[in-house]
Chains A and B, each alone.
Chain A
């Protein structure tokens, strides 16, 4: 027998190049179009330079197209390079050759990696050459190029290996493609779904707490899809995926590689053309599909119907659908309605039903927990978890510490527990976070109908501490405030940046906001202006600019800004007023449109004096007895804005004339 000349099988690599080289070429051409070509066009200056600090992830280099390549090319590569594994004849041929499975796997993964890395590196080199030959500093620098190359390499390889991994589990290439995307979305989807549903059954559990914190990062697809290059601020270097998460991607890639190699070596080759190639995966797949679809249908009915029986109906319908779809996929036939499968479904349903009954019992303690007054260090009250996170991260952190206010919050909390209804989606969101003296944090989130907890809510919302928490600029140093914008309802924006103006405006706002009564606090309508404050380059903080803020209004008039920032009769052509007798089942604009379409005659107001009266009449109420359509121009077919007010707030000429017309 001749001696082994070389153990490296170059023919396998050659075969892979012949087979899937085209994927590499398409990837290369794609990247060539979105990077160097875009750069040349931008340098040509036809469209002007859109400079930004997004580097190679910016709009100039159409990042979303890059992202599409990022999530299709590695998947195509993995599908085609491991296609042989899913076709019985080629699988038999390759595996009859004198080469170990592990080696075979590595040759194919290696060739795939090589073919995916090459286009990225070559495009990177081209961009590097540009740096030496043209002035590209407006677009990117060396660090940007490094970040881009690193990011592209890491994500490409992650997606590739993820698809290889899925490929070892299935025996059909089409299923491999579909399952890869499901796999890349799955961690986020399933955790979101589970959490969302737990929040139905566990009162006070926020469905958004976890997802707000790192939900999107659980799925590379979502994380990269939600990246907006234009959100870059303050010269901060942004990369579509945070560095720690990129680190996790690397770890996951390596783990998936070893896992795939392990499964590949043990994979039953006769499973080619079976949708699920690994036996232990079949029940997992079946239960997974059943469970997910049940949750998904439950979600649908919770959003559309919002009652528990409908949600349960959704679980049952989704569960049955999911179970039979999964069974059909595995059996590759639709005739699966046998007693055997029905028995399986029954067993599954019984288990899930038991869980549904048991889980809320486990969490009773969690639901009813309100920390004792003396345990509490401080409290945050707001409407959403993410506000809390932002607030914690900002410079002006000032939680509620006074005993009376903590007491008021605990009273509100207690009251909400009495009015429990975890399926209420239309109520007011209230988020409470207690920082305990022992270091623990208790976070709860509720959706309640405000009218049910009015008294307790008023106690909390009227405190200065609460107001300061909602509007941190009330306590901020005037010098730390970058600028104040006021936006009037016509979307016309005025910037106040002179420091004495900022200081004075803030002073007046403080007076008005601190003295604001509870009934004023709510219901701002479209005809009101609002302001935005940015403190030390942080997030913008909104505040309503109500006509009832007398001090502020006077100041605005004194500064000749009133006309610019407040909507007046002079801006308006006419008003159309309907009495909303509860006929419309919708709100705001839709309700107005519905009334108008119904042929009812509105009260038309054209007199400037009366218009001003209407504008000042009120800031809307909860029952919208009157709907006012604001028309800026005669010829407008549709109202530009909708206002509303309660019966007792309406100016007398409206109540009288609309009463008469009935």
Chain B
């Protein structure tokens, strides 16, 4: 659905994006992670067709985005700093969107009114920051976009609202295969919604992963053996990290779960537990392997 190929962008001789390539499949929710200044917003503005890349290609639905009305009809972009037309009420903003987007769905708009429970005839600027973000979602979802681009979308939303918005997004993804691109500097914020994650660091795409694969692929294991503790380390297992806690060996192992279980069983462990692993931990170990400390990449 979204294809980004080798794009580069410079601001005043400073390279902001360098050969960035990634793909987002239809019906997927892609989390674009990176610290401040990594180039996330620039990349998203480019995908939204606001600014033009210096080189490379940005395609949505197999067509270039820039200055393409038809493709942009399918997309809604919510920037991190929201903008509403000055002095406009929610209703007036809705009319504006309705005029701009052919896919505007009035029933959806009316239905969402109850979800968000906001005053329709109040000026948007009179709402609090969090409420303004709800208005933005309300309007965006009413456009029924095929592609939704969200830059730091959960800033300023309380936990209840976050949950509400998240379920709205997931519902649309499930119902009509909406594609979502979400940027964040906080992994925890997106790990429960995304199915794919890419990490942008200093203008370059460091790596991309399918989260389901990732979770299935990396395991945290606690073992203890009767005899020689260290012999397991020389096995075929792809051990990304280990530490000794007394007689217990804590390992992060990459690979198929069954194969790992079989391999370890051969050493006849006294203790063998599989512990839950957070996404953050996975990244720490994955990126540690790549020579980065995650604190430098994500906040």
Binding site for B on A (CB under 8 A): 1-5, 9-12, 15, 18-19, 88-93, 95-101, 265, 268-270
Contacts and interface: CB of A to CB of B under 8 A. Distances in A.
Nearest to B82: A89
Contacts of B99: 9-12
B98 to A, nearest CB: 8
Interface residues of B, number: 31
Contacts of A19: 85-86
B103 interface: yes
Nearest to A91: B50
Contacts of B69: 98-100
A89 B83 contact: yes
Contacts of B45: 92, 96
B48 A96 contact: yes
Contacts of A11: 95-96, 98-100
A330 B237 CA distance: 59
Interface in B69-85: 69-73, 75-77, 79, 81-83, 85
Given A1-B103, A10-B99, A93 B83 contact: yes
B81 A98 contact: no
Contacts of A92: 45, 50, 77, 79, 83
B102 A4 contact: yes
B203 interface: no
Given A11-B95, A11-B100, A95 B50 contact: yes
Given A9-B99, A270-B11, A100 B50 contact: no
Nearest to A95: B50
A93 B81 CA distance: 10
Given A92-B50, A269-B51, A270-B51, A99 B86 contact: no
Given A1-B102, A19-B86, A96-B75, 11 more contacts: A2-B102, A11-B96, A11-B99, A90-B83, A92-B50, A96-B48, A97-B72, A97-B100, A98-B71, A99-B100, A270-B11
Contacts of A98: 69-73, 75, 100-101
A80 B67 CA distance: 24
Contacts of A3: 102
B110 interface: no
B49 interface: yes
A506 B14 CA distance: 81
A99 B51 CA distance: 14
A96 B77 contact: yes
Contacts of B49: 95-96
A101 B102 contact: no
Interface of B: 11, 45, 48-52, 67, 69-73, 75-77, 79, 81-83, 85-87, 95-96, 98-103
A96 B72 contact: yes
B50 A2 contact: no
Contacts of B51: 268-270
Contact of A15 (B67, B77, B81, B96): B96
Contact of B85 (A10, A15, A91): A15
A3 B67 CA distance: 20
B81 to A, nearest CB: 5
10 contacts: A12-B99, A19-B86, A89-B81, A92-B50, A96-B45, A96-B49, A98-B73, A99-B72, A265-B67, A268-B52
Given A19-B86, A92-B50, A2 B96 contact: no
Contacts of B77: 92, 96
Contacts of A18: 87
B217 to A, nearest CB: 36
B153 to A, nearest CB: 15
Nearest to B13: A279
A44 to B, nearest CB: 41
Residue of A9, A18, A98 ringed by the most chain B CB atoms within 10 A: A98
Contacts of A93: 79, 83
B12 to A, nearest CB: 9
A101 B67 CA distance: 7
A263 to B, nearest CB: 14
B103 A2 contact: yes
Contacts of A5: 102
Contacts of A12: 99
Contacts of B82: 89
A381 to B, nearest CB: 59
A265 B52 CA distance: 11
Given A15-B85, A93-B83, A96-B72, A269 B102 contact: no
Contacts of B73: 98
Given A96-B72, A97-B72, A9 B102 contact: no
Nearest to B85: A15
Nearest to A87: B83
A102 B11 CA distance: 24
Contacts of B96: 11, 15
A168 to B, nearest CB: 16
A5 B98 CA distance: 11
B7 to A, nearest CB: 15
